[in-house]
Structures are given as C-alpha cells and as structure tokens.
C-alpha cells in the first residue's frame, strides 16, 4: 500500500512529526525579525537551508522557523535574495556523485560504486527534470559529470 523507495526494496514510513499547534511554544522568546536576521546571517556565511535550521534549533532554541516567522527558511532566503542557485537535495546528490567519481579514479574495479553512481546520476537527471518543470532551475541547465565538481565546490 505504501510507496517504496526509488532505488531499493525499502518501504520505510518512519519520519518526524511536527507539532499540531502552529503557534510557537510559550518558552520561545525570540522575535520573527531576530530569527529572520539570523537566517540571513547564516546564509551569507554560505550555509544551506537545512544546516541553518539545525543551527537555529541546536544553538538558538528556535524549534520551527515557520511557526515563529510565518515563512519557511527557503522562502525567507528568496525574499532577501540569498537562496542557493541549485536546490539543496540536487546539490547534495551532485556532491555525492562527484565524490564517487573521485573514488573511482583510484579504485577503478569497484563495481558496486559504479552501479550506485549510475543510480545517483539517474536521480540527478530526474530531479533536474522536475526542477526545470517547476522553474526552479533555468531551462538550459544540464548536469555534466566533467563540470559537476565546479558546481559543488
């Protein structure tokens, strides 16, 4: 009944559950402007949206940026012109593919890595198709393995 994974037999459904109440908890004493300023500050340092959320949660006691500001982190970044060029999930897939290619240069007989690289690159192409359709990537954007290292550096 549940949809399975794209490349693998798993059908796992575990995930974290957000609180039902959409208002921030009573113990949160930071304002929306303070949180937005911190989000922009971390983005200027080069942090990705998920890393910003984890830092705010762990170091600044901000449970959910959306419940305090009314907007998600990526929307705050877009509003301030700081959003990343490549969507985060696609960025990390490209990074993984680059690392695998680097590994294969010195371990050419690693057949499992070759196979997994094919799976990851097919996922990259699938994501790219989706992001072009939803206009989050420009229509002429193309993943090429030889230039991928410059995208993630």
pLDDT for 13 = 82
The DSSP symbol for 121 reads: H
The DSSP symbol for 60 reads: H
Pair 10, 4: CB distance under 8 Å: yes
pLDDT for 1 = 56
Pair 124, 90: CB distance under 8 Å: yes
Q: Does the pLDDT of residue 5 top 90, yes or no? A: no
Q: Locate all alpha helices (DSSP H) within the chain, ordered by sequence.
A: 32-44, 49-60, 65-69, 73-79, 88-106, 111-133, 148-152
pLDDT tens per residue, range 55-79: 999 999 999 999 999 999 999 999 9
Higher per-residue confidence, 8 vs 71: 71
pLDDT tens per residue, range 136-149: 999 999 999 999 99
Q: Does the pLDDT of residue 153 top 80, yes or no? A: no
């Amino acid at each position: 009944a549940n949809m399975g994974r794209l490349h693998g037999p798993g059908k796992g459904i575990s995930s974290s559950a957000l609180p039902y109440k959409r208002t921030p908890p009573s113990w949160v004493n930071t304002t929306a402007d303070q949180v937005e300023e911190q989000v922009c500050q971390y983005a200027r340092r080069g942090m990705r949206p998920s890393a910003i959320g984890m830092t705010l949660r762990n170091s600044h006691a901000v449970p959910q940026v959306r419940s305090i500001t009314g907007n998600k982190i990526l929307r705050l970044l877009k509003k301030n012109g700081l959003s990343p060029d490549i969507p985060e999930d696609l960025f990390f897939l490209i990074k993984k593919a680059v690392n695998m290619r680097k590994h294969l240069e010195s371990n050419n007989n690693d057949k499992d890595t070759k196979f997994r690289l094919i799976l990851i690159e097919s996922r990259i192409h699938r994501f790219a198709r989706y992001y072009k359709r939803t206009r989050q990537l420009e229509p002429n954007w193309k993943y090429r393995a030889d230039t991928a290292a410059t995208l993630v550096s």
